[in-house]
Every structure is written in C-alpha cells, then in structure tokens.
Structure 1
Amino acid sequence: MTQPPPPPPNQPPDPQGGFGAPTPPPQEPGYGYPQQPGPGYGYPQQPPADQGYGPPQQPPAPPQQPPYGYPGPPQPPQPDQGYGYPAQPQAPYGYPTQPQQPQYGGYQQPAPPAPGGKKLSAQLQIVIAAVVAIALIVGFGIWYARSGDGSEEAKGPDGTAQGSTAGGGGDTGGKGGGGGEEKAPADTGAKVAYTVAQPKVPDVTDVSGSWITDKAFVKPGLNSLVAYDLDKGGVLWTLPLTGQVCGASRHVSADNKVPILFEAAKRVAPRYFQQCTQVGVVDLNTGKLVWSDAVSVGDDKARFSEVTLSGSTVAAGGTDGGAAFDLASGNPRWKPKAEDDHCYDLGYGGGEGLVAVRKCGTYDNPSVLIQNLDPVSGKPLSQFKMPAGVKYASVVSTKPLVVAADVGETAGDGSGISDFFSIDEKTGKLKAKITADAEQYAARCRTTQVESCEQALVGNGKLYVPTEEHEGGSGEYGDETNEIIAFDLATGRTAPEKADAGDKYTYVPMRMDGAHIIAYKEAPYDKGGRIVSVDGATMKETLLLENPADRTTGNPERSFSLNGAELRYRDGRFFISDRLISKPRESDTGPKEYLLVSFAVPR
C-alpha cells in the first residue's frame, strides 16, 4: 500500500484536559461478540497527534507469494483467531476457493422422483424439465425487471444515487444488480474541457471535498465554496464563509444538500491556524448556506475533524466527541457530554446507515466499539467490540457494515489497514475477518478519521480492493500493473474472478455504480488515463472515457499526485482536483499547478 502525502502542518494542537482525566474502561465481554449497547455520544479524551494514513512503522519482511497469475500452495484451515468466530481460510487472491453447490440456472439438476418411489417415464421427465425451465425463465425475468428500482435518499459526491462505500459512494450491498447508470458513450475519446488554477494561499491549505450536480462541479476555494459550470468552467456561484472549509461529507441528500465543516475565522499570520468548530449545510443547487452552528463543550466550542450524512441526520465527530443535527433545520439531535464510562464518539460513517466509532479508556489502553445507531435518537441498535490492539477504526460501509483497522499497528506501511471486519449491523456479530496484507493490497485509511478510506468498495455482498502494483507480463521497464480482487463478506474468502488492469495500467477504484465498479486506470507515459466500468460479478471492464495522450511536462492530468487528488466521474465527465494546495513557488518556471482539471467526451 502506497504512502500518501503527510497531513498539513496546521493541525490543531492536542487538546488537554477536557471534562477530566481519562479512566480505564469498564470490564466488558471479549471482542467478537455482541456487546450491550452503551450511550450514543461521548466524552472528550486526550488524543494523539494526527498520524495521517497510519503511524509509520518498519515494514515486515514480505512473505513469499506465488507469482501473479498462478495459484499458490493450498491453504490449510486456520485455527480460531479469537475474534468471536473462526477466521475462514483464504485462497491466494484471484483464484477459485472451494466449489459451490450446484444451483438452478447454472447446473443440471436431477429429475425429481415419482410418487411412491417409481421412476418417471422419459416422456414425463421431459415435460417436467420443460415446466421447470419455463418457471425459472419467468422468475428471472420478474427479478431482473424489479432489480434496480429502489431509490436511495443519499447520493455520492458525483451526484448519483449512492449507498455507503469508501471513495465516494456505492450500491446497497445487495447481491442482485442489473448494472449501473453509467453507459459507454459512442465516442470515448475525451479532451480537456477546462482547468482552474490554484488560488494563491499564504500557507498549506486544505481544500478537500468535491461534488457533481446536474449543472455544476462544486469545490472548496479560499474561505469559500465555488460552483463551476459543468461543461465550460465558468463560475456559477460563490459562497463566502467565515473561514476555511475543514471537513466535507461524502454523502449528499437527494435534493443536493451537503454538510460541511468550516473555521469560525480567517487564518492570519504568523500562526496560520483556526479551530474547526462550525457545522453547516450547503444547498449545492443555489449556493446558499442553509444553516450553521457550533457546539459548546464547557467554556469552549467543540472541535470536529469530519462530518457525514445519513438520512436526515448530519453527524460530526472528533476528539471532543460527537454531535448530530437535523439536516433541514439544524436543530441538535445530540451533543458531546460527560458520561460515566469516559467514552466519546470519534466519528461516524454515513450513507444508508449511521455507524459510530466510539473510543473508551486511555491512549495506551483504548477500547474501540463499533455502534450501529438510530440516526434520529443516536441510540445504539447493535455493538461490536474491536479486538485488542486496535486504537482506531474506519467505516468502509454502513450497510452492509464493513470496518477497517490496523490491529496492533502491524500493517507497517502507513496504510492504516491490516484487516477488514464484516459485521452484522443488526446483531453486532462478526461475520468474517479479512486479512489485507499490506505488501499485497493498496487500499488505505487515515487512521484518525472514521470515514476516510479509499480504494476499498463494498457492493454485491463483496469487498473490492486493488492489489499493489507489480511487474507485468511483458517484463519491460515501466510495465507495472495491478488487479481488483473481491472478497465475500459472508465468508471472507476471495472470489474466483478478478479484474486485470493490463500491462502498464493501474486500477484506482473510485466508487460503486449499482453492481459495477467505476475505476480510474492510471496510464503509461505515452497514453491517457481511462475511466472504466467493471462488472462486479464477471469483473469484465467497459471503457467509458480515455484522456488524450500527452507526453509534455505540462500535461494537466499528470500534474496531480493520485495519493493527494480527488477523482470524480459522472456521465462522460471526469474531474481531478487537489486536496491540499501550497504557497506558490518563488519561481514560476515549473509546470503549472491546478486546483482542478475537467475532461469530457464529445456530447
């Protein structure tokens, strides 16, 4: 897993004190079993400094893996790992696991016995087989016609109806599908539609967040939000704010309302920093601030580090605890407060559900709970206790519930992921633990933020993650490639199908589109990047867009680091934008730096 850029230097100092010194957490049952739900909101504790995408560690010696494309040795069953259920044995990624039982529609079924144990005549068997076949065809037709009819309240950052998955939205997690909304255009050759230069800032500035509506691409600027015309790039509206945007929801309401965090005042020299205290909702259609509010914790305002949306609930979390508001009115639903168990909600995962990551205890001996909440009351509906050695956890998806963590800080590469946990959100029981070898898989999470995982998508009852880059089949210099691998969320086993990016291309999964994966393919120097749709069942890809081949040093596509960029695609339009911008260089001789670049196919 690759190391992302470091966080900006203007992080808030570690808060001291709070409501009192932390005390050890109460004794609880072992992890892996449902816990008694505790209070839904929390108590501030002394946090560590932000460590980016996982604390830096010395990577362990890489295990001996089979060459890509060839099966490895058989995997023996693993003993009980102590997470409440035995860990399922995993085959090397991309290869078949144990054979499945024959099902109707895929295998020949034996003819049913006749009443009384007598064998049916050959003619009668033919009639029965024909009737069964017709029934299956009719049933499949009804299922296919109904699949995809459901509507989602929340949408992803690209404006499409989405569920809850990392990287900006996903599907409902169901095993049915019928594909997605994105279709291949007649001409997939794209050109640069427009570019927007970086605004001049006096220091490193966070501009994370971006959304697509029917008319605009919306992006934070300097102390503002700005909407750019979808096709021409002209400014449609600008929303001035009291300070810099410091948090943005991945999820958008059906009518294009989005929660954000911003600072109460503008940053000034010499200390280029303001606390992130303001919670607000923006109407992306009109550019109006619907409401904004701050929450008091003692004599101070609570500091938040992230915000999300689930249904009509806006939820913000941080080291001062969690708070929630009504999306339409801004009325508080809960606030941080002192509690007997000395716990606090570090943050929330939104989308189809609302899931809290709750921390208890001291920094040296923390206890981390995953709580599925009622979005209106904040009451825990179920609870799962993470294993010992977990200091932070990240929510990849809320329905189905999938959580990532670096157990015992063993990932070793700063990715923040050693294992994924598939949890039954209704009961709090662990369904499967999926070990994600840091030497092998490229997904990553920012450990101190709950909803920050990238390149890990959930849909079709599976978890999709890309492998790390490795040498391709040609053996030529620069022919690195990778694959997308799927894990079954019920068993933890790898699916037999995998998507192969091909020599000199690298998959970067972006989001789910129904039952399909939307992915960017980083290209070799003499090609343009591609946007593809990958069928979540067969793992076959369809080209949606291909950027022009540009070998010049001024190529706008290559002016971004993929680890520090946001990638958005919708309906033949592809946007790359920065998360962090810096003070301009004294010399302007280098390549031009962009806030965002838009590519589009002919319309």
Structure 2
Amino acid sequence: MTDQPPPQDQPPTPPVPPGNPQPQYGYPQAPPPPAPPQPGYGYPTAPQHPYAQQPGYGYPAQPVTVVAGSGGDTRRGENRTIALIILAAVVAIGLIIGSGVWYAGSSHGGGGTAGPGGGKNGTATVTGGKEKVPANPAADVLFKVPQPKTEDPSVPTAGSWLSGRVYAKSGIAEIIGYDPADGTKKWTLKFPGPVCAATERVTADGRTGIVYQPSMPTKTSRPGCTQVAAIDVRAGTELWSKSIGTGEFATQFRNVTVSGNTVAVGGSDGGAAWDIGTGKVLWQPKPGDGCSDAGYGGGPKLVAVRKCGTYGNRTLSIQNVDPTSGKVISEYKMGAGIEYAGIVSTDPLVVGADAGHSASGGSGVSDYFSIDNRTGRLLARIPVSGDAYEGECDTISQVEECKGVVAGDGKLYLATKERNEKKAHGSTNEVVAFDLATGKQTGQRAAAGDSFALFPLRMDGGNLIAYKKPPYDKGGQIVSVDGASFRSTTLMELPAAGADRDLQTDFQPGYSEYRYTQGKFFMAEPNVGKPIGSFDKDRNLFVAFGTRD
C-alpha cells in the first residue's frame, strides 16, 4: 500500500476538533483535552452517517530515536515478563507536501485507461496482481440486506469478510454468512452482545477474530467489550471464546487483528493473544505494569504499538513481534510527545502519528513513518497535511484503522483532497506515491478523472486497488492502478441509473467497510442506529455488486 515536486498552494486549514485521549490502566490521569461525545455503547465507533467529521489528535513534537531490538523482550503469558521501554528523545515538524495535477485519458471519463497488457478494459492483464480483469466490467446489484431494527442511536455491527464462497457480515449480536453470488444465507452465529471490534484479516483457510460484549446493553447497564472469539468464516463456526478476567473485572479490548495463527487484541489496559485454532493464551496484560500494548497491526507481520508511562508523559514504541512467542524482533522508538500511532501496514512497516499538534483536516496524522521491520531503523519520515491528503488514522482506539492510505511494493499511496477544476464538471482528485526508502514523492500520479474521486483500498501484488467515488450522474468504479506505469484498469463499473446508483451514496469512503475480490464488491455499515428521519428508514446493512461475466 525520486524527486519531490515543489509545494503547491494549499486550501485554508479548518479548525481541528479536540482529541480524545484514553486513560491508562493503573496510573493517575493528567487532565485530557475535552472529549467529543461517543456514540453507542461506550467505545469509539465510526459515524453512522456520511460526511461526519472525524477528530484530529495532536501533541507536542520532539526528535526521534531509533533503537533496533535485541530480541530479548516478550509479551507476558502466564509466566512472561514485560520489559520497560526507555524514554526517547525529539522530533521536528516536517514540511507539508503539496500535490499537483495530472490526468490519464479514459474512455469512461474517469481515468480508467488500458492496463499494460494493451487493449481496453476487457483484454488488459494487470501485472503483479491476482485480480482478474473482466471481459465486461459493467456490474449489477446482486442483493442487499436491510439494516436490523433498533431503538438505539448507534449499535456496532463491526466486521465484514469475504473468504472462499462466503461473504460474512455482523448484524446486531450476530454474524451471518451469505452466498456472495445470490445472498442465500449459509449460516448464522448468535452472540450474547454486539460485535464491537473486528479485523478484515482472514487466514488462508478462512479464520478470523472478533471482540464482542458479554450481554446486550440496557438503559442502566452497558457492558464493556471483554469477550474475544475466533470464528471460521467459511464453515460458520465459533472456534472458541475467551476473556481476561470475569465480570466487572474483565479486561476491555478495543481492537483485534490476526497474524499467522495468532489472534491479538489491545486496549487501554494492554494487549493479549491466543492461538486461533486452540484458544491457548499466548500472552496477556500485566496489571500495574508501566508498559502495555495499546494494539496490534496484523497480516504478514505482527506489530505492536507499545506505550509506557501516563498520558502527557508517555513514550511510544513500534515493535515487530513474533506472533507465537511475543518475542520482540525489532523496535522503533517514537519521539517524546507522540502519544498515539496508527498502523498503515506491517510489511512494509508504516505507521501514522501526530507530531506537535500539527495534524490538520481531521486526519489524526501529521507524519507517516517508514520503518525497517527487520532492524527497527527509520527509513523515512513523510510529513503530510490533512488539508491536502485524504488519508487518516484512528490512532487512539483502533490502531489498525487507517483509511485512504495504502503501503506496498516500496511505496506509500495517498489520495489528495478533492478540488474543483476548471475543465471538470465537479470535484476530482488523484492518488500520489511516496518512496518508502526516501520519503520523497516518486512523481507518479493516478488521476481520478472528470468528477470522480479516487480512494485507495488495498494492494494486489504490486498494484493498488482503489474505489472511484462517482459524480451525481455516474456509478462508482473499482480500478487497479499498475504500480510501475500508474495506468488504471477498470475492474468494475457500478450501476449509474436510479435506485441502484443511490445505493452507493449510502456507503461513503472512509466510513464504510469495502470488500472487493474477483468481480464481487460489498459495501457495508460498521454500525447501525435508529432512523433519524423518513429519508433514513430504508437504509441497508450492506449491498453486493457483481460483474456480468
């Protein structure tokens, strides 16, 4: 997921909402900035409706010290110990990198040119990727599922997985598996409470992890997110369910991920991990310790965001850890004053953080840090402006929730903010690339095209998969951007007419769960709520699209 062009003029900086720091277990809490109200059940959730403003998080900046891990530290299992992390030294705030404009030609008016194999969208072969280019990219609505009814203003429905011949989606206190071709229900898993946290990570054989509440909230009781479970998405079975502690003393977790055969969870009280197949505990928090894992990034590597000290006097480390033993392979120490970080990717290792209270545009990120996950050495620091780029990270609670930014194949891909162009009929943008080794722009740009807006989703080998948000009179698109040539190949064209097009506008980039693979595309809600008006009463939990070939 080169030479750097000179900075361009930037739009005015809007005011940034206050941050929402979380207290750390077992330590006196310095008075935090005023926190915005949280929806739903007492933990952060994505906004229910599009266009909601996300808070930015800022802290004083200082320089960075790089420390390669010795490999001696481990997470705490039943008999493991946790080493204290040393205080780090200082970092300077970087320059804001602007973005220019570059357009690729397209027969669809949206920047979707032929791929490197030549020919139009039906005959191109995408180099370095597994996604098949359809003979006809036109897509239809396959099926849709309405939102479950609730009287609560916000209920989490976190989790959306596409594995094998199953698409699975969380509802209220349940997960249902569907046939991705026609929506036939294959299985249903019931839970005593809502699924509060999920990861899109799925093992090769279709297993993943979730966090859920032990009971349904009431007017007088709102139980925490204390239960961790592993599920088999393809078979529709719960493999195990665990917690750390019981009842009111159970540890609460805010994020979950999967790496190898490990389910790892984190929160303000620390991190824990289990074997995904057996449920055997691999490590767990040590109450009263000065250091804890706030959360993890998963996938090809397992990376911990490890914090030491209390709010206002905290140090942060990014640790590449062995997913089975918890042993530290390498470590990078963030600069003093950086209290939170979000993980964009674990391989290559890229994190986003706010230095010096300088993050703008509600992004929560002022800089991206490219780190060698073998040695812990800082490769590059990439300063960005939230007023110029769309990428953002939930650095406080979700850790792995970075959206609109993707790293892979030696590059960091960022979408620029939408802007009006003289020759365009509406706003547009492009995706630009930064070299992860140097931190400089590569000079490569993929333009969205007239009135479209590109939003990076994930890597496909050496290629970038992105969603193109449409103008009022067209359907959206899924495109593959070749990592070498930066030419775009259209993989899917969503319906442009009537109600089918309107379905797409209910699921806005950055606030929805998008899953695409091999001609199937799912747009889903991470939380639902009581309708707030007549226009809102017929919203869907998710909608499925598919190409015709």
TM-score (norm 2): 0.79
- Please name the residue that 2:473 is paired with: 526
- Please name the residue that 1:235 is paired with: 185
- Please name the residue that 1:535 is paired with: 482
- Please name the residue that 1:596 is paired with: 542
Greater Rg by CA: 1
How far apart are 1:303 and its partner, in Å? 0.4
Whole-angstrom CA distance in 2 between matches of 1:561 and 1:183:
25
Unaligned runs of 5+ in 2: 1-10, 31-61, 78-88, 103-125
Whole-angstrom CA distance in 1 between matches of 2:379 and 2:23:
37
- Please name the residue that 1:353 is paired with: 301
Whole-angstrom CA distance in 1 between matches of 2:345 and 2:499:
40
CA contact (8 A) 1:388 1:407 kept: no
- Please name the residue that 2:493 is paired with: 546
CA contact (8 A) 1:415 1:443 kept: yes
Query: 2:191 matched to 1:206?
Result: no
CA contact (8 A) 2:193 2:214 kept: yes
Runs of 4+ in 1 over 3 A off after TM superposition: 13-16, 18-23, 35-43, 81-84, 89-96, 551-554, 587-591
Whole-angstrom CA distance in 1 between matches of 2:214 and 2:262:
22
CA contact (8 A) 1:559 1:591 kept: no
CA contact (8 A) 1:193 1:232 kept: yes
- Please name the residue that 2:135 is paired with: 186
Other structure's SS at 2:428 match = coil
- Please name the residue that 2:118 is paired with: none
Whole-angstrom CA distance in 1 between matches of 2:442 and 2:537:
43
Whole-angstrom CA distance in 1 between matches of 2:542 and 2:197:
18
How far apart are 1:183 and its partner, in Å? 2.0
User: Which amino acid in the other structure matches residue 353 of structure 2?
Assistant: A
- Please name the residue that 2:282 is paired with: 333
Aligned identity (percent) is 42
How far apart are 1:190 and its partner, in Å? 0.9
- 1:580-595 correspondence to structure 2 within 5 Å: 580-585=527-532, 588=534, 592-595=538-541
How far apart are 1:438 and its partner, in Å? 1.5
- Please name the residue that 2:291 is paired with: 343
- Please name the residue that 2:381 is paired with: 433
CA contact (8 A) 1:41 1:321 kept: no
Match of 1:402 among 340, 344, 350: 350
Matched residue pairs, number?
Answer: 466
Whole-angstrom CA distance in 1 between matches of 2:200 and 2:382:
25
- 1:221-260 correspondence to structure 2 within 5 Å: 221-260=171-210
How far apart are 1:564 and its partner, in Å? 1.8
Whole-angstrom CA distance in 2 between matches of 1:243 and 1:489:
42
How far apart are 1:491 and its partner, in Å? 0.5
Give the alignment's Cα RMSD to 1 decimal.
3.0
Whole-angstrom CA distance in 2 between matches of 1:590 and 1:312:
41
CA distance change for structure 1 residues 19 and 417 in 2, over 3 Å: closer, same or farther?
closer
CA contact (8 A) 1:217 1:227 kept: yes
- Please name the residue that 1:284 is paired with: 233
- Please name the residue that 2:400 is paired with: 451
CA distance change for structure 1 residues 232 and 493 in 2, over 3 Å: closer, same or farther?
same
How far apart are 1:425 and its partner, in Å? 1.3
How far apart are 1:30 and its partner, in Å? 6.9
- Please name the residue that 1:115 is paired with: none
- Please name the residue that 1:317 is paired with: 266
User: Which amino acid in the other structure matches residue 210 of structure 2?
Assistant: I
CA contact (8 A) 1:42 1:338 kept: no
Other structure's SS at 1:225 match = strand
How far apart are 1:274 and its partner, in Å? 1.9
CA distance change for structure 1 residues 15 and 443 in 2, over 3 Å: closer, same or farther?
closer
CA contact (8 A) 2:22 2:268 kept: no
Whole-angstrom CA distance in 2 between matches of 1:497 and 1:483:
10
CA distance change for structure 1 residues 428 and 474 in 2, over 3 Å: closer, same or farther?
same
Whole-angstrom CA distance in 2 between matches of 1:279 and 1:503:
45
Whole-angstrom CA distance in 1 between matches of 2:279 and 2:500:
47
Match of 1:460 among 409, 413, 418: 409
How far apart are 1:83 and its partner, in Å? 5.0
CA contact (8 A) 1:179 1:513 kept: yes
CA contact (8 A) 1:42 1:345 kept: no
Whole-angstrom CA distance in 2 between matches of 1:456 and 1:424:
19
- Please name the residue that 1:148 is paired with: none
How far apart are 1:410 and its partner, in Å? 0.9
Whole-angstrom CA distance in 2 between matches of 1:493 and 1:466:
15
Match of 2:66 among 30, 33, 41: 33
Whole-angstrom CA distance in 2 between matches of 1:289 and 1:311:
18
Whole-angstrom CA distance in 2 between matches of 1:588 and 1:536:
45
CA contact (8 A) 1:469 1:481 kept: yes
CA distance change for structure 1 residues 584 and 272 in 2, over 3 Å: closer, same or farther?
farther
Whole-angstrom CA distance in 2 between matches of 1:381 and 1:243:
37
Whole-angstrom CA distance in 2 between matches of 1:554 and 1:439:
29
Whole-angstrom CA distance in 2 between matches of 1:500 and 1:339:
51
Match of 1:492 among 439, 453, 463: 439
How far apart are 1:536 and its partner, in Å? 1.2
CA distance change for structure 1 residues 217 and 571 in 2, over 3 Å: closer, same or farther?
same
User: Which amino acid in the other structure matches residue 263 of structure 2?
Assistant: V
TM-score (norm 1): 0.72
Whole-angstrom CA distance in 1 between matches of 2:175 and 2:308:
36
CA contact (8 A) 2:495 2:501 kept: no
Whole-angstrom CA distance in 2 between matches of 1:544 and 1:285:
25
- Please name the residue that 1:501 is paired with: 448
CA distance change for structure 1 residues 351 and 598 in 2, over 3 Å: closer, same or farther?
same
CA distance change for structure 1 residues 295 and 354 in 2, over 3 Å: closer, same or farther?
same
CA distance change for structure 1 residues 41 and 473 in 2, over 3 Å: closer, same or farther?
farther
Whole-angstrom CA distance in 2 between matches of 1:321 and 1:377:
17
Query: 2:522 matched to 1:578?
Result: no
CA contact (8 A) 1:573 1:599 kept: yes
Summarize deviations over 1:384-420 as a string: whole Å, max 9, x none: 1111221100111111211100112211322111000
Higher mean Cα deviation, 282-291 or 297-306? 297-306
How far apart are 1:321 and its partner, in Å? 0.5
User: Which amino acid in the other structure matches residue 168 of structure 2?
Assistant: V
Whole-angstrom CA distance in 1 between matches of 2:297 and 2:509:
24
Whole-angstrom CA distance in 2 between matches of 1:19 and 1:562:
38
How far apart are 1:472 and its partner, in Å? 2.4
User: Which amino acid in the other structure matches residue 410 of structure 1?
Assistant: S
Whole-angstrom CA distance in 1 between matches of 2:231 and 2:354:
34
User: Which amino acid in the other structure matches residue 510 of structure 2?
Assistant: N
- 1:375-414 correspondence to structure 2 within 5 Å: 375-414=323-362
